[in-house]
Every structure is written in structure tokens, then in C-alpha cells.
Amino acid sequence: MALDVNHFFTFSTRRLSVVASVAALAGASCSGPASALPAGGIVSYDVGLRPREVAVADLDADGRLDVVVANSGDGTITVLAGIGGGQIRRASAAIAAGREPADVDAADIDKDGDVDLMVANHETSRITVLLNNGKARFTPATGSPFETGARPHVHGLATGDFDGDGWIDVSVESADTKEVRVLRGSQQGFGAVTVIPVGTMPYSRLGSADVTGDGHADVLVPGHGDNTVRAVQRQGTGFAPATWTIRTSGQPWMVVGDDVNGDERADIVVVETDAVSIWLGGLDGFSAAPGSPLAVAGATEAATGDIDGDGIADTVIGPWDGDEVTVIAGKTLAVRRVRACERPVGLSVADLDGDRRGEILATCPTQNRLVVVTSSQSVDRESRGVLRTAARTPCNFLGSGCSSLLFQLHSFAESLLQIVSAILDGAEVSSLPRSLDQNI
């Protein structure tokens, strides 16, 4: 994610002086833990400078999930291999991944049976592609880094077989030109870029999920320019924007697609300014879940995965401000907070220890660390001290119990932000202070 105008003002005026010392975190501070993951604890790992995003996949084909972290501050990725019991350990020296790696996705790009990596190089319009030799050793693909033509630059990746030809494709947003750009995979690797005008400024992280129900992944677009969420879907051999549009009350920054209420229809999670909204898929399109949007101060990024083991994807939201990840879990979409680390923005949910409950992985850019929050039984057990309810009266996404004060504060904050946005309207993203851009 690049410059975040609203967040800048939000953070400047309301920055919390939360400094979550890694040493103070339960079970923290180890780059090679000696035993199985503690139930309901946090383990942290040294990674590169300013880690930004995390991906999880079995990279060395040993049946254990491995973790890769994009380090935006030093142009590398860190691979941590699963070694059993949910533990991970640095697998190799840092791997060069181009300028300012801001996002990383894992998929088998060349269809040789192993999982390869794609990296978004922020402050450029390029994507670095690293091919796996099957043993989690990576070398740049022929032609890498690939030019996307995105303007001013790329932030995140959305990957999937968007055109349905069996080869993984990569999508990025081009904010200045109001386009989604798809780098299409083929037997020859990534080739020409397909450009899809989307009629709004897309910014800053696209999603990938089949929300149109046609069996093909769609590109989900945060319409930052007009407070919308749109989808780009396959049409013939090309792409077209879906006919529906979701209108959000806040400015969207990121979109994630997943079935978060267990009805086997894809839903849409939108990270908005200081809020998250959930849109439930139904026969007639998407409708806001009761209680949505939910105020989440400093909301920056989201990820989904099953944390509580009920078979339904839960949602995690990381804030730019503070040290807690917000968890929206279960069919009831109950809200809880999980302490992670300062500014836990790069998120993933994955079951590292095989207990069918996903761990929360978060990058901690100010501490050059990755934290893994084990979720064993802890979603429902405050006594374990990791997950705790957001307030004495849990704020239930589908019902009552949410503090009206919270929403009043949210509305007030939104009004302020709208004023700020109006003042700044027309400001070019690329023209704003670089230091801010680099912070995000």
C-alpha cells in the first residue's frame, strides 16, 4: 500500500503511543523455537527490514507449510520452513526480490508441480517472479522483473487464473490510469499485459476470489476514487467489469473475497478508512452484513482463514495504529481482538500446526519481525490471555451489543476524513510526500 492520505491525517492526530515490546509478548523472542507452538501464545521471528506481507505454502513439498515474508526495507524475501509441530525456521539466506518488495503471493506459475513466488515491487511498476527448484530454492524467472505499466506504481498483487486457461495470472492496480492490469501466464511465462479500465481510481490492494460464481477467480477492486467495490471478470478470452457495484460508506483500501458466513457463497470484506465492511453474497448480489461497517481504528489490511476450526473462514484486520489484530469469527461474525505486535499489517491465516485451527501470521514492520499467534482453542477462551473480547459486551456483527459510542466516534471520524478528503481532492498520489508513501 502506498500513500494513504486519510491514514496520514488519522494517524497524525490520533496516534497511539503503543509500543509493544516484543520481549513483553507472551512466548516471544525466538528465531528458532525449541518446542511445539504454545497454545494461545505468540512466537516471533527475525525477518528482513520493514517486513510487509506474508504468504504461506508448502514450498519444499515436505507436507509442512512454509512461510515467506516480503521485506520492503531491504529488497529481499525471507523463507521460513515448516519443521513440524507448527514451528518454522529460517530456511536460507535472504533472497533478493527486487526493489521494495511490498507483497508476495505463492502459486505454481510454471506448472511443474512446485510453488513459485510473485513479488510486487513498490515504487516501481514491476513484478519479480521467482521460480522454485522444488526444494524452496528460488531463481528469477526468465524475463523477471516483469513490467506491468501500472501508474504510479504497484502495491499489492492479486493472483489467480483469471482468464481460465489453466495458467496463473497476476493483477495489479494502476491508480493514475484507473485500470486493472493483468499479467497473463502461459507456457512461455508471463507475456503481454491486458488492460481493463475500471472507471475509478483503484487503490491500493486488489482481491482475488470467484465472487461472480462462474467458477473463475475474479479481480476485486477497491474503488478508492468513488467509494465503491467492483469486480473484473472473465469475458470470452478477455475481461470486463462486472455489472454490479458495491457502494461503501468509507474509502476502500483493500478487498478480500471469501465465504465468511458458511453459506457457500463468496462474500466480500472491504478494508475502509478506520472501518471494515462485510458484504454477504446472496441470490441478488451483495448486501451489507448487519452491523457493517464495523469501526476498526487504523484498519489497513485484512486476510481470511478458519481460526476457530468451525470450517468457516474468519476475518482478521490489522491496524496501522496499535498492536491488536481484530478478528471477526464464526457464523455470528463475533468480534474479538488479538494482541500481536506493533502495527501488525501484513496478515495471513494458516494452520501451521495441523490442529485445523488457523494461526494468525502478522508482519511487524517496525520491529523487523514476523509473529505467529497460535489460535488453539483460544478464540473462545479469554483465560488463555491472547484472544480477548473487544469490550465487556461483545460486539456482535450480526446483532446488538456493539457500542453505539463506537459507531458515533466512527461517524465523527468519517466526517472529519471526508472534509480532509475534500480538501485534498485532486491531489495526485504520486505527488505526495515520498516518505509517507514509503511508510505504508
The nearest distance, CB 358 to Ca ion, in angstroms, is 17
Site for Ca ion in 378-437 (CB under 5 A): none
Which is closer to Ca ion, CB of 144 or CB of 368? Answer: 144
Three cell numbers written together for 238: 478477455
- Evaluate the omega torsion of the peptide bond into residue 152 and state whether it is cis, within 30 degrees of 0: yes
Which is closer to Ca ion, CB of 133 or CB of 389? Answer: 133
String marking each residue 265-304 x if it binds Ca ion according to CB under 5 A? x-x-------------------------------------
Site for Ca ion in 174-213 (CB under 5 A): 185
Q: Please work out the total of residues on this chain that contact Ca ion, with binding judged by CB under 5 A.
A: 22
Residue 105 is a binding residue for Ca ion (CB under 5 A): no
The nearest distance, CB 259 to Ca ion, in angstroms, is 4
CA distances from 100 to 68, 113, 120, 149, 170 (A): 15, 28, 8, 17, 18
Do the beta carbons of residue 339 and residue 40 sit within 8 Å?
Answer: no
Which is closer to Ca ion, CB of 89 or CB of 388? Answer: 89
Binding Ca ion (rule: CB under 5 A), the pick from 58, 147, 226, 355 is 58
Residue 259 is a binding residue for Ca ion (CB under 5 A): yes
Binding Ca ion (rule: CB under 5 A), the pick from 46, 110, 123, 310 is 110
Binding Ca ion (rule: CB under 5 A), the pick from 263, 389, 412, 428 is 263
Residue 89 is a binding residue for Ca ion (CB under 5 A): no
Three cell numbers written together for 385: 490471555
The nearest distance, CB 347 to Ca ion, in angstroms, is 20
The nearest distance, CB 210 to Ca ion, in angstroms, is 12
Residue 354: DSSP 8-state:
S
Residue 258 is a binding residue for Ca ion (CB under 5 A): no
Do the beta carbons of residue 42 and residue 26 sit within 8 Å?
Answer: yes
Which is closer to Ca ion, CB of 21 or CB of 287? Answer: 287
The nearest distance, CB 362 to Ca ion, in angstroms, is 20
The sheet that has 387-389: what strands, in order across it?
299-305, 314-319, 324-329, 334-339, 387-389
Write out 320-333 in H/E/C secondary structure. CCCCEEEEEECCCC
- Closest to 122 in 3D by CA, of 140, 104, 135: 104
Residue 108 is a binding residue for Ca ion (CB under 5 A): yes
CA distance 144 to 159: 16
The nearest distance, CB 439 to Ca ion, in angstroms, is 33
Which is closer to Ca ion, CB of 185 or CB of 202? Answer: 185
> What is the SS3 assignment for 164?
coil
- Neighbour tally for 171: CB within 10 Å: 32
Which residue has 478494508 as its cell numbers?
A: 271
**How do the residues of the chain divide into helix, strand and coil, expressed in percent and rounded to 5?**
10, 40, 50
Binding Ca ion (rule: CB under 5 A), the pick from 74, 100, 105, 114 is 114
The nearest distance, CB 117 to Ca ion, in angstroms, is 9
> Rounded to 5 degrees, what are φ and ψ at 413?
-60, -40
CA distance 427 to 437: 14
Binding Ca ion (rule: CB under 5 A), the pick from 75, 82, 241, 358 is 82
Which is closer to Ca ion, CB of 112 or CB of 214? Answer: 112
Which is closer to Ca ion, CB of 199 or CB of 262? Answer: 262
Which is closer to Ca ion, CB of 186 or CB of 400? Answer: 186
Do the beta carbons of residue 406 and residue 395 sit within 8 Å?
Answer: yes
The stretch among 230-238, 253-261, 362-370, 375-383 that binds Ca ion (CB under 5 A) is: 253-261
Three cell numbers written together for 390: 473487544
Three cell numbers written together for 377: 482453542
Three cell numbers written together for 335: 468480534
Three cell numbers written together for 194: 491486458
Binding Ca ion (rule: CB under 5 A), the pick from 146, 167, 190, 397 is 167
Beta-bridged to residue 387, according to DSSP, are 338
Binding Ca ion (rule: CB under 5 A), the pick from 7, 52, 64, 126 is 64
Binding Ca ion (rule: CB under 5 A), the pick from 18, 21, 85, 112 is 112
Q: Which residues contact 24 (CB under 8 A, 6 or more apart)?
A: none
Binding Ca ion (rule: CB under 5 A), the pick from 4, 53, 169, 321 is 169
Which is closer to Ca ion, CB of 319 or CB of 358? Answer: 358
Binding Ca ion (rule: CB under 5 A), the pick from 165, 176, 226, 355 is 165
The nearest distance, CB 282 to Ca ion, in angstroms, is 8
Angle, CA of 276, 55 and 24, to the nearest 5°: 75
- Closest to 175 in 3D by CA, of 222, 132, 142: 222
CA distance 160 to 169: 5
* Residue ranges in contact with Ca ion by CB under 5 A: 58, 60, 62, 64, 66, 82, 108, 110, 112, 114, 116, 161, 163, 165, 167, 169, 185, 259, 261, 263, 265, 267
